[in-house]
Amino acid sequence: MLFMTAMLGIVMSNNVIQLWLFWELTSISSFLLISYWWHKSEARKGARMALAVTGAGGLALLGGLMLLGDIVGSYDLDVILASKAIIQSHDLYELALVLVLLGAFTKSAQFPFHFWLPHAMAAPTPVSAYLHSATMVKAGIFLLARFYPALAGTEMWFLLVGLTGLATLLFGAYIALFKHDLKGLLAYSTISHLGLITLLLGLDTELATVAAIFHIINHATFKASLFMATGIIDHETGTRDMRKLNGMWRFMPYTATLAMVAAAAMAGVPLLNGFLSKEMFFAETLHQQVLGSMSWLIPVLATVAGAFAVAYSARFIHDVFFNGDPIDLPRTPHEPPRYMRVPIEILVVLCILVGIFPSFTVDSILSAASLAVLGEAMPEYKLTIWHGFNLPLLMSAMAVVGGLFIYVNRKYLFQFQASLPTLNAKKTFERAVLSVVAWCQSKINSTENGSLQRYLVIMLGVVLLCAGWPLFEMQQLAGSMPRTPVDVHNAIGAGLLIIGAIATVIWHRSRMVALLMLSIVGLMVSVLFTRFSAPDLALTQLTVEVATIILLMLALFFLPQHTPKESSSLRVLRDLGIASTIGVVVASICYAILTRPLNSISDYFVANAKTGGGGTNVVNVILVDFRGFDTLGEITVLGIAALGIFKVLSRIPLFMPASDSEGRPWARERYPILLASISQSLLPLALLVSAYIFLRGHNLPGGGFIAGLVTSIAFILQYMAHGSNWITERFDINYRKIIASGIGIAMFTGVGSWFFGRPFLTTWFDYFDIPFVGKTELASAIVFDLGVYLTVVGATLMILASLGNMTSDAPKKEVNI
The interface with other proteins within residues 530-559 (CB under 8 A) comprises 531-537, 540-541, 544, 547-548, 551-552, 555-556, 558-559
- What is the pattern of x (binds other proteins, CB under 8 A) and - over residues 150-189? ----------------------------------------
Give the residue from 302, 279, 288, 264 showing the smallest Cα distance to 358.
279
Whether the bond into 535 is cis, omega within 30 of 0 = no
Give the residue from 8, 48, 290, 351 showing the smallest Cα distance to 159.
290
- Min dist CB 673 to other proteins, Å, is 30
Task: Confirm or reject binding of residue 508 to other proteins (CB under 8 A).
Answer: yes
d(CA 318, CA 324): 10
Among 328, 376, 380, 566, contact with other proteins (rule: CB under 8 A):
566
Among 59, 525, 689, 695, contact with other proteins (rule: CB under 8 A):
525
Structural contact between residues 277 and 269, judged by C-beta atoms closer than 8 angstroms: no
Task: Confirm or reject binding of residue 398 to other proteins (CB under 8 A).
Answer: no
Task: Confirm or reject binding of residue 606 to other proteins (CB under 8 A).
Answer: yes
Q: What is the DSSP string of 481-540?
A: SPPPPP-HHHHHHHHHHHHHHHHHHHTTTBHHHHHHHHHHHHHHHHHHHHHTT-HHHHHH
Number of residues that bind other proteins (CB under 8 A): 113
Site for other proteins in 674-703 (CB under 8 A): 699-701
* Dihedral angle of Cα 350, 356, 357, 359, to the nearest 10 degrees: 100
d(CA 807, CA 810): 9
Question: Phi then psi for 312, rounded to 5 degrees?
Answer: -75, -30
d(CA 558, CA 62): 53
- Min dist CB 607 to other proteins, Å, is 10
With contacts defined by CB under 8 A, name the span among 17-25, 230-238, 281-289, 503-511 that binds other proteins: 503-511
Sign of CA dihedral 416, 422, 426, 432: negative
Site for other proteins in 277-306 (CB under 8 A): none
- Min dist CB 742 to other proteins, Å, is 13
Nearer to other proteins, 234 or 634 (CB): 634
3-state secondary structure of 665: strand
3-state secondary structure of 778: strand
Site for other proteins in 431-470 (CB under 8 A): 445, 449-453, 456-457, 460
CA angle 494, 499, 501 (to 5 degrees): 95
Site for other proteins in 466-485 (CB under 8 A): 481, 483-485
With contacts defined by CB under 8 A, name the span among 8-16, 99-107, 298-306, 641-649 that binds other proteins: 641-649
Among 73, 153, 375, 583, contact with other proteins (rule: CB under 8 A):
583
Nearer to other proteins, 401 or 502 (CB): 502
Among 2, 391, 401, 491, contact with other proteins (rule: CB under 8 A):
491
- One-letter-per-residue 3-state SS of 431-489: HHHHHHHHHHHHHHHHHCCCCHHHHHHHHHHHHHHHHHHHHHHCCCCCCCCCCCCCCHH
- Min dist CB 444 to other proteins, Å, is 10
Site for other proteins in 696-755 (CB under 8 A): 699-701, 705, 709
Site for other proteins in 758-817 (CB under 8 A): 792, 795-796, 799, 803
In this structure, how many other beta carbons lie within 10 angstroms of the beta carbon of residue 710? Answer: 26
Site for other proteins in 647-676 (CB under 8 A): 648-649, 652-655
Residues in the chain: 817
Q: What is the DSSP string of 207-257?
A: HHHHHHHHHHHHHHHHHHHHHHHHHHHHHHHS--BTTT---GGGT-HHHHH
Bridge partners, residue 767, by sequence: 777
Nearer to other proteins, 293 or 445 (CB): 445
- Min dist CB 684 to other proteins, Å, is 25
- Min dist CB 256 to other proteins, Å, is 60
Among 189, 225, 504, 724, contact with other proteins (rule: CB under 8 A):
504
- Min dist CB 655 to other proteins, Å, is 5
Nearer to other proteins, 218 or 540 (CB): 540
With contacts defined by CB under 8 A, name the span among 100-108, 174-182, 385-393, 582-590 that binds other proteins: 582-590
Nearer to other proteins, 365 or 555 (CB): 555
- One-letter-per-residue 3-state SS of 89-130: HCCCHHHHHHHHHHHHHHHCCCCCCCCHHHHHCCCCHHHHHH
Nearer to other proteins, 366 or 538 (CB): 538
Nearer to other proteins, 254 or 591 (CB): 591
Nearer to other proteins, 372 or 637 (CB): 637
Among 461, 560, 657, 672, contact with other proteins (rule: CB under 8 A):
560
d(CA 535, CA 529): 7
Task: Confirm or reject binding of residue 497 to other proteins (CB under 8 A).
Answer: yes
Nearer to other proteins, 21 or 460 (CB): 460
d(CA 610, CA 637): 29
Question: Phi then psi for 731, rounded to 5 degrees?
Answer: -135, 130
Among 56, 398, 528, 815, contact with other proteins (rule: CB under 8 A):
528
Among 171, 222, 529, 694, contact with other proteins (rule: CB under 8 A):
529
Task: Confirm or reject binding of residue 260 to other proteins (CB under 8 A).
Answer: no
With contacts defined by CB under 8 A, name the span among 5-13, 419-427, 591-599, 768-776 that binds other proteins: 591-599
Among 1, 570, 598, 667, contact with other proteins (rule: CB under 8 A):
598
- Min dist CB 372 to other proteins, Å, is 54
With contacts defined by CB under 8 A, name the span among 94-102, 146-154, 522-530, 687-695 that binds other proteins: 522-530
Burial class (CB in 10 A: 0-12, 13-18, 19+), 607: exposed
Quick one: which H or E segment has residue 798?
A: helix 781-805
Nearer to other proteins, 172 or 500 (CB): 500
Nearer to other proteins, 741 or 807 (CB): 807
- Please state, in angstroms and as integers, the Cα–Cα distance from residue 551 to each residue in 512, 690, 704, 801, following that order: 13, 21, 21, 10
3-state secondary structure of 322: coil
Nearer to other proteins, 485 or 757 (CB): 485
